[in-house]
Amino acid sequence: MKKLAVNIARLILAVAFILSGFVKAVDPLGTQYKIQDYLVAMGLGRLIPDFMTLSASVLLSTLEFILGICLLFAIRRRMVSKIVLVLMAAMTLLTLWLALTDPISDCGCFGDALVLTNWQTFWKNIVLLTAAVIVWRYPLLMPRLIGETNQWIVMNYSGVFILLVIAGRSLYTLPQFDFRPYHVGTNLRQGWQRMMEGEDSPYAELFMELTDEGEDITEDVLNREGYTFLLVSPHLEQADDSQLDALNQIYEYSLDNGYPFYCLTASTEKGINHWRNITGAEYPFCNTDDITLKTIIRSNLGLLLLKDGVIIRKWSHNNLPDEQDLTGELETSELGQLPSDTVATKILWILTWFVLPLVLLTLADRLWAWSGWLRKRNNNNPLNKEKVIMRKKIVAGNWKMNMNLQDGIALAKELNETLKADKPNCGVVICTPFIHLASIAQFLDQDIIGLGAENCADKEKGAFTGEVSAEMVKSTGAQYVILGHSERREYYKETPEILKEKVLLAQKNGLKVIFCIGESLAEREAGKQNEVVKAELEGSVFNLSEEDFRKIVIAYEPIWAIGTGKTATAEQAEEIHAYIRSIIAEKYGNAVAEDTTILYGGSCKASNAPELFAKPDIDGGLIGGASLKCADFKGIIDAWKK
Ligand code: PGA
């Protein structure tokens, strides 16, 4: 319900802002006049120069349009909803003042397209303000129409469209959509007639009075059959005089063809004379109401062509018809007819060049997002080989028989501080001689560094002089134990059967087992590595239930690489890791295999760790020599940050 309300509010606001921004941008001068009306009403009329009010008009329309687009697409939801709320609050206060004091007749929020009374405007703003509050309260309930990465395209495209294509073009030529009572196609004769008959009419202030004779020729002009040119300039003093040649040509053309030509202006006699002097104008001048002239054409100068009292053409001073257009009589030329681009063709143009690209972009963006979602879903499917790897990455140290208690504690402390300051991107474990465990467990932050033993007994307890049981290891505070290391297999003759017992006892006591496997040089040279590792797994851990096997970490350590400085190449290691995973999959299924952490061990250093760890089936390392110095070990841990 809440979501529905937020999105209805969003839609109402989006439509209102887009429309309001658009109609203002279509007629920047009209909006400027409105702003000037406001300033006059506030007593600031004379203080603000024209270029500032015109800039304000263009900026206001652009802002409204972009905010509407942002709401529609749910772009920058939090920021946009705040701006909209502030804007609506200010607008509502302003329109309340307008409604109460009535200094201007209509607020101009929708330009000339939709004229509302001041109270209508106020109530409209109350509705919009309510919507703005709802959207501001829950901005994140608006679902995005477009992904964050493509939002800038929508914003920039809309900005360029409204600023250059709509406002800029309207200023240079004339408003592309004309909502005023003098748009192309208006039958002024009929409108005037109705006004004379007493009907309410927008033409009450339309008059043309020849300046020389003082004669009112409005009726003559409107009732005349055929063509009449009306040059419109509210104030000749400020009129653009850059196109005088074109203008004089048009005047000559009108004389040659017998079309009347008048200049309508609200300028004083002085202004008219000045214009005559600088341009050599010979056409007659008529006095007309200043506001009416500004309403007739949004350009100073502008040219109007009447045919039988109907406005059939309007030009701004920037695109007056030239010599080529003015050949032959208007009756037979294209210029003398109503233009073919109707409102429908203009709307179609906007749909094709603005709406359609955005719709296509949105569709492409959503399609991409959807395909991404599908890919992700497939990756999460355990049957899918390209599963996103979720298994734990670990770098474990194996101190072997190195360091006395004091040195061991010092190293563990240093590592503890280092990794607390710079958190690792993987699980870190240190496996130490039994003698260190209890002391180190006291200060080690085991959320960052796990602690483990390097071995445990294959017996639960009893008369086994010199042995340390899994239970004892656990009681020190350690969580891990390395079992099956090749040095123990070789020097202490630990057989697969013995290791099987050790694994069971370790697990029984809640220790996580790092189980080592790996072939000797002779076995590798004989190409028997796969066979060897398979037998080692089968001999000691493949007896476990799936649940217990999931708790095992495997460490593949080719014996020929341990402590020799000879590392398996990343490719060699990856090949056998993949093989190990495949036999785990055969035994326990894909899902277990994919979740099993398989470490590489054997002369792993900071220099070769990144390459090894980059392989898809290598999930970290079991580190001997390089775990005895904090910096060396940290270098390997940091390989997961690369
Ligand atoms: P190494 O030892 O890194 O010194 O080669 C690895 C191991 O035996 O676990």
Q: Could you read off the pLDDT of 409-442 as tens digits, one per residue?
A: 999 999 999 999 999 999 999 999 999 999 999 9
The token pair at 211 is: 């300046």
pLDDT at 173 over 50: yes
The yes-or-no answer on residue 557 being catalytic is: yes
What length does the chain have?
Answer: 642
Are the C-beta atoms of 18 and 72 separated by less than 8 Å?
yes
Q: How far apart are CA 190 and CA 197, in angstroms?
A: 11
pLDDT at 634 over 50: yes
In whole numbers, what is the pLDDT of the chain averaged over residues?
92
pLDDT tens-digit map of 483-523: 999 999 999 999 999 999 999 999 999 999 999 999 999 99
Label each residue of 591-605 as H, E or C: HHHHHCCEEEECCCC
- Say which residue the tokens 């003082």 belong to: 214
pLDDT at 6 over 70: yes
Q: Is 589 helix (H, G, I), strand (E, B) or coil?
A: coil
Are the C-beta atoms of 477 and 428 separated by less than 8 Å?
no
Nearest CA to ligand 1 atom 7: 624
C-alpha 531 – ligand 1 centre gap (Å): 22
Q: Is 40 helix (H, G, I), strand (E, B) or coil?
A: helix
CA distances from 585 to 394, 402, 530, 548, 552 (A): 21, 37, 15, 15, 14
pLDDT at 236 over 50: yes
Which residue among 520, 623, 627, 632 has the greatest number of ligand 1 atoms within 8 angstroms of its CB, and so is best to mutate?
623
CB atoms within 10 A of CB 420: 12
pLDDT at 89 over 60: yes
The token pair at 363 is: 């569709």
Q: Considering only CA atoms, which of 28, 111, 26, 66 is closest in space to residue 346?
A: 26
C-alpha 635 – ligand 1 centre gap (Å): 15
Q: Is the CB of 601 under 6 A from ligand 1?
A: yes
CB atoms within 10 A of CB 198: 7
CB atoms within 10 A of CB 11: 14
Q: How far apart are CA 495 and CA 565, in angstroms?
A: 27
Q: Which pLDDT score is estimated for 357?
A: 95
Q: Which long-range contacts (CB under 8 A, 24 or more apart) does 110-119 make?
A: 110/19, 110/20, 110/23, 111/23, 111/24, 111/26, 111/27, 111/30, 111/31, 111/34, 111/179, 112/23, 112/27, 112/30, 112/179, 112/180, 113/19, 113/23, 113/177, 113/179, 114/23
Alpha-helical runs (H) found in 74-117:
77-101
C-alpha 498 – ligand 1 centre gap (Å): 22
Q: How far apart are CA 8 and CA 26, in angstroms?
A: 27
Q: Which pLDDT score is estimated for 389?
A: 56
C-alpha 558 – ligand 1 centre gap (Å): 10
The token pair at 338 is: 């109503």
pLDDT at 113 over 80: no
C-alpha 392 – ligand 1 centre gap (Å): 20
The token pair at 375 is: 């890919």
pLDDT tens-digit map of 115-127: 888 899 999 999 9
For the chain, what percent of residues have pLDDT higher than 70? 98
Choose between 377 and 156: higher pLDDT.
Answer: 156
CB atoms within 10 A of CB 35: 19
Amino acid present at 481: V
How open is the CA angle 178-156-52, to the nearest 5 degrees? 55
Q: Considering Cα of 316, then 320, then 325, then 331, what sign does the dihedral take? A: positive
Choose between 532 and 195: higher pLDDT.
Answer: 532
For the chain, what percent of residues have pLDDT higher than 90? 81
Q: Which pLDDT score is estimated for 377?
A: 64
Which residue among 480, 604, 629 has the greatest number of ligand 1 atoms within 8 angstroms of its CB, and so is best to mutate?
604
Q: Which pLDDT score is estimated for 444?
A: 95
Are the C-beta atoms of 120 and 51 separated by less than 8 Å?
no
Tell me the whole-structure pTM to 2 decimals.
Answer: 0.59
Quick one: average pLDDT of 191-213?
Answer: 89
Q: How far apart are CA 235 and CA 13, in angstroms?
A: 39
Q: Which atom of ligand 1 is nearest to the CA of 486?
A: 8
The yes-or-no answer on residue 485 being catalytic is: yes
Q: Considering only CA atoms, which of 479, 572, 461 is closest in space to residue 527?
A: 572
Q: How far apart are CA 599 and CA 611, in angstroms?
A: 14
- Of 64, 536, 557, 594, the active-site residue reads 557
Q: Which pLDDT score is estimated for 376?
A: 59
CA distances from 618 to 32, 426, 571, 576 (A): 69, 13, 10, 10
102: region left, alpha or beta (phi > 0 left; psi from -120 to 50 alpha): left
pLDDT tens-digit map of 517-570: 999 999 999 999 999 999 999 999 999 999 999 999 999 999 999 988 777 899
